Structure 1
């Protein structure tokens, strides 16, 4: 019970520490341990100056300074005489040892920082990769980009300042402990001063934290606006609406910088009063020691030395805490973003999919997005292996949803999808998707070589090169390959800039053939192409017809004349089915569509 309550208390009051610990584990403890040894050795190194001065003035044995007495006793224990040389030797030893630990401390902290950023980014990338498609399409892309870039850097800054708080707190504890060991009354006076200073800065901390949350939210908005500007650049430029949109961006930037300026103002206030507060409390402590307690000034010299360092560390704690609060909003953002992604994570458990032999069957499938009407309503239909199925219908009739259900991107609200009478839910969804090829209107071409685009970065050897060339021939890209001096290593540029639209589409087909696709989905693959290029793509598809299951979504009916079966969707249901000639004869709706396109 006590352990559970203690853990609950720690999580409630040190949730940021728990966040860092969740990534760093024992590494965080090593950072603390190194900091402790650095602070201890620093205190011991500084403490050597008092005995050094007293030995030099030959007053070490007569002084009332406890530190000098302890030092002389230590020298006698190791059989050394209390001389300037012995004090200097011991002082050098402590400073060298401190320097060694300082090096290890700084180097290890840099290693941990690098590890921390790496682990956060890898975790976020994996979570984004595993999120459900239905969640991804409703997530603001600006939030995703901002989380992986700006917010991760901010979280690392938060960690750096948080560790600085811990390290300086350790310094304070060590210095105060040394001071208490030497002069307990003087130490208590200084501790009271430290507590008062903490209260003075509490309002600054609260304001910084509020502004930090505001900056994190506004960074998401700015990232979203920037991505929309890039995606819609052509429209904004050609319609002279760019200045209006740019003004929105400027307003977003100004709002962020105004909050950053306020945070900077708070940091400046803390920094400006840091030194006066240190001197003020030390002066008060000395006044009380000499005039109230009536102690000697020499008896408090070691404590003054320790507490001057302790107060500097206290001010560093306050500055680091203020800096941490500047980024704490980013920590909260990452925590919330992770929880959001995790709640919509896709399950990939199940049997490995080895392929199917008979059919993919829609069994009374109904699907609709949240708070919307049904997109597909009670669909039952079997797609037989190695057949070519075309799906047509007006926009909004459910064509894309149909193929998204086949690929497992969406899950039916009712009914099931069966593969050889086994539910798709029983399979590892990634192993199933590895057998699916997708070619859409927006071709996927990476800024890399032709070989890597087709083989998806497979190892280049005799076997892969032979297979690469085989699929290149099937999709009629051999001429493009041969006319380049670089051959398969030709760089395609951003979005395949060196290729025509038709060549990019044929490249997409080649990629799916290379990975031994069983199901090939073409989603409006030729709608942006001219008639001649469309014909070449159609010829490429005809060459592979019968060797795999092909599902085609098309507005241009000329591309589906040779399909084995055409499904006409209307209001989420199969309104008619059959081959091209049958539908022209038996379906007035399809016949009208053919007439309008003059086929």
Structure 2
């Protein structure tokens, strides 16, 4: 288990670079720009209509403006009702348009991030955890949903009210407006000051929530181990620690938000009292003073509302940075494979030439050192050696999950990098020791080797894998649900499903990574028989701890500490006083 301590996030104010990153997301809005633009127009109209409200209220209490439009109907009252109805209608359509655009945009964004994520190289996943990445796609995008739907609209509406209201006030009374605006620079400076802290705490809360989600994900995935080690309360405590830390940071950030809001409220009401006193002293008419006060309240409320907008923008920028970090990671050159191009079809010959390798996360620890060997087409080659010798690393290098630090891997005499990555992998299949099955049906798991395969093809593959007999015993047959990671099947059954999947793929190169080491004797016999049938007519690389399963191999390569120490057939190696004979004696004398 990796260390799950979250790295503290440095304090950063909103910078131009951060805003530019956030604006990159608007390219996902581009296909829906007409609807978004119409929503912005409706928002602008409803905001401007709101600016007429204080003026009309002032007219309503002004006897000089109380002209009769129709009998018993006051002109100012009718206009007020018309403005309110119009504003309501425009607001309704604006919200509907913004929500529609947001949902479509975020669906596209989710698909883009997932598509990019799944194409990232293995070295990326060595440094990340599943729960953290899941949180990025769920909670971070949910924050952006609020931004597109509400925050952006509020920001535009409040800016329209502030700019439009100040303009009207300047026309009404420049002197009183200047007096009222004297407090605004103080408020804006306070917004910048508090915003630095708000952003830091918001981002730290997101990090802690992601960490707590990671605990949940890992615990549920490893629930068998949790219960087997009676560590339920340990995991509860670990989750409690994460959520309490998120709550602590959130509450600390809440103090700054509360202080900010209190400061703004104090400034607004202080300004209103001062404006009333100054307006009366200047002899301003009651109706004009009422309109002026209402505009001042609108402007003050919008400025106070900017604090919430600013907070939400901070959250959105933090979420955007996390998402863009994923999107900025270089992806593998993956392409859809419908058929293998003739020039990329493998005969099955493999050559390792002076290959050295270390994992990206451990550059100081060499896993393979100057390894060279050949595998001819249709040969069965076994890799043996103690744990950590580099056997499974060879599998990863064959699949080009990693590239060697130095040296080359050649297929049929061509460098592995000369083949399109997807077409190369499409001609290989792996049957691992720890088989991963998806939580759907048996049919879905077998068909994973060849999406779109027919029932007849799946049945034939299952028969060749010695799996059809137990599949038939299930009431639902191929439609039987296997459960999370195949938990409802035995180890031998899972292995045979994995073999059926490989049979259906019909690979040119087959890789067996200790496929029978965790099975009982009966299951091993069935699985080994299925593997023997699967290896016929194709190049096979077999990693095995049980040497009895590889005695008939065409060649056995013995690895130790990342180097080849012996090479030959079983009979040749058993005659040598070397590591293979030592391993063989240990197994067969027990």
TM-score scaled by length of structure 1: 0.84
Contact preservation (8 Å) 1:213, 1:328: no
Partner secondary structure for residue 397 of structure 1 = coil
Question: Out of 354, 359, 363, which is 2:349 matched to?
Answer: 359
Q: Does 1:141 align with 2:149?
A: no
Partner secondary structure for residue 362 of structure 1 = strand
Residue 256 of structure 1 and its aligned partner are, at CA, apart by 1.4
Contact preservation (8 Å) 2:205, 2:250: yes
Alignment of 1:55-454 (within 5 A): 57=63, 59-60=64-65, 84=73, 87-157=76-146, 160-161=150-151, 163-230=153-220, 233-235=223-225, 237-239=227-229, 243-244=233-234, 246-272=236-262, 275-291=265-281, 293-325=282-314, 328-339=317-328, 342=329, 344-348=330-334, 354-369=344-359, 370-454=362-446
Report the Cα distance in structure 1 between the residues aligned to 2:384 and 2:142, rounded to whole angstroms: 47
**What are the superposed Cα offsets for residues 537-567 of structure 1, whole Å, 9 maximum, x if unpaired?**
1100111232322211110112222322221
Report the Cα distance in structure 1 between the residues aligned to 2:465 and 2:322, rounded to whole angstroms: 47
Residue 399 of structure 1 and its aligned partner are, at CA, apart by 0.5
Q: Which position in structure 2 is the counterpart of 1:543? A: 533
Question: Out of 461, 470, 474, which is 1:471 matched to?
Answer: 461
Residue 503 of structure 1 and its aligned partner are, at CA, apart by 1.2
Question: Are residues 304 and 458 of structure 1, via their aligned partners in 2, closer, same or farther at CA, if it must alter by over 3 Å?
Answer: farther
**What are the superposed Cα offsets for residues 70-104 of structure 1, whole Å, 9 maximum, x if unpaired?**
xx9xx9xxxx8999465555444433332221012
Question: Are residues 258 and 23 of structure 1, via their aligned partners in 2, closer, same or farther at CA, if it must alter by over 3 Å?
Answer: same
Report the Cα distance in structure 1 between the residues aligned to 2:42 and 2:59, rounded to whole angstroms: 27
Contact preservation (8 Å) 1:36, 1:171: no
Contact preservation (8 Å) 2:356, 2:368: yes
Question: Are residues 473 and 200 of structure 1, via their aligned partners in 2, closer, same or farther at CA, if it must alter by over 3 Å?
Answer: closer
Residue 513 of structure 1 and its aligned partner are, at CA, apart by 1.6
Contact preservation (8 Å) 1:367, 1:412: yes
Report the Cα distance in structure 1 between the residues aligned to 2:147 and 2:49, rounded to whole angstroms: 27
Question: Out of 1, 11, 16, which is 1:11 matched to?
Answer: 16
Q: Which position in structure 2 is the counterpart of 1:503? A: 493
Partner secondary structure for residue 528 of structure 1 = coil
Q: Which position in structure 2 is the counterpart of 1:44? A: 52
Contact preservation (8 Å) 1:216, 1:333: no
Q: Which position in structure 2 is the counterpart of 1:65? A: none
Question: Are residues 323 and 572 of structure 1, via their aligned partners in 2, closer, same or farther at CA, if it must alter by over 3 Å?
Answer: closer
Question: Are residues 361 and 147 of structure 1, via their aligned partners in 2, closer, same or farther at CA, if it must alter by over 3 Å?
Answer: same
Residue 281 of structure 1 and its aligned partner are, at CA, apart by 1.1
Report the Cα distance in structure 1 between the residues aligned to 2:461 and 2:27, rounded to whole angstroms: 47
**What are the superposed Cα offsets for residues 194-228 of structure 1, whole Å, 9 maximum, x if unpaired?**
33333344443232122223323333443444445
Contact preservation (8 Å) 2:557, 2:568: yes
Partner secondary structure for residue 284 of structure 2 = coil
Residue 234 of structure 1 and its aligned partner are, at CA, apart by 4.9
Question: Are residues 452 and 44 of structure 1, via their aligned partners in 2, closer, same or farther at CA, if it must alter by over 3 Å?
Answer: same
Residue 231 of structure 1 and its aligned partner are, at CA, apart by 5.4
Tell which deviates more after alignment, 463-472 or 325-334.
325-334
Question: Out of 30, 35, 40, which is 2:43 matched to?
Answer: 35
**What are the superposed Cα offsets for residues 242-262 of structure 1, whole Å, 9 maximum, x if unpaired?**
545544443332221111112
Question: Are residues 176 and 582 of structure 1, via their aligned partners in 2, closer, same or farther at CA, if it must alter by over 3 Å?
Answer: same
Partner secondary structure for residue 218 of structure 1 = helix
Contact preservation (8 Å) 1:356, 1:385: no
Contact preservation (8 Å) 2:348, 2:378: no
Partner secondary structure for residue 597 of structure 1 = helix
Partner secondary structure for residue 488 of structure 2 = coil
Residue 593 of structure 1 and its aligned partner are, at CA, apart by 1.7
Question: Are residues 417 and 346 of structure 1, via their aligned partners in 2, closer, same or farther at CA, if it must alter by over 3 Å?
Answer: same
Residue 130 of structure 1 and its aligned partner are, at CA, apart by 1.9
Question: Out of 590, 594, 597, which is 2:580 matched to?
Answer: 590
Report the Cα distance in structure 2 between the residues aligned to 1:10 and 1:255, rounded to whole angstroms: 27
Partner secondary structure for residue 106 of structure 2 = helix
Report the Cα distance in structure 1 between the residues aligned to 2:90 and 2:381, rounded to whole angstroms: 70
Report the Cα distance in structure 1 between the residues aligned to 2:334 and 2:447, rounded to whole angstroms: 24
Consecutive unaligned residues of structure 1, counting only runs of 5 or more, are: 1-8, 62-71
Partner secondary structure for residue 135 of structure 2 = helix
Alignment of 1:535-574 (within 5 A): 535-574=525-564
Partner secondary structure for residue 563 of structure 1 = coil
Contact preservation (8 Å) 1:357, 1:420: yes
Report the Cα distance in structure 2 between the residues aligned to 1:295 and 1:42, rounded to whole angstroms: 23
Q: Which position in structure 2 is the counterpart of 1:518? A: 508
Contact preservation (8 Å) 2:449, 2:502: no
Residue 137 of structure 1 and its aligned partner are, at CA, apart by 1.8
Tell which deviates more after alignment, 477-486 or 387-396.
477-486
Question: Are residues 202 and 376 of structure 1, via their aligned partners in 2, closer, same or farther at CA, if it must alter by over 3 Å?
Answer: closer
Report the Cα distance in structure 2 between the residues aligned to 1:212 and 1:562, rounded to whole angstroms: 62
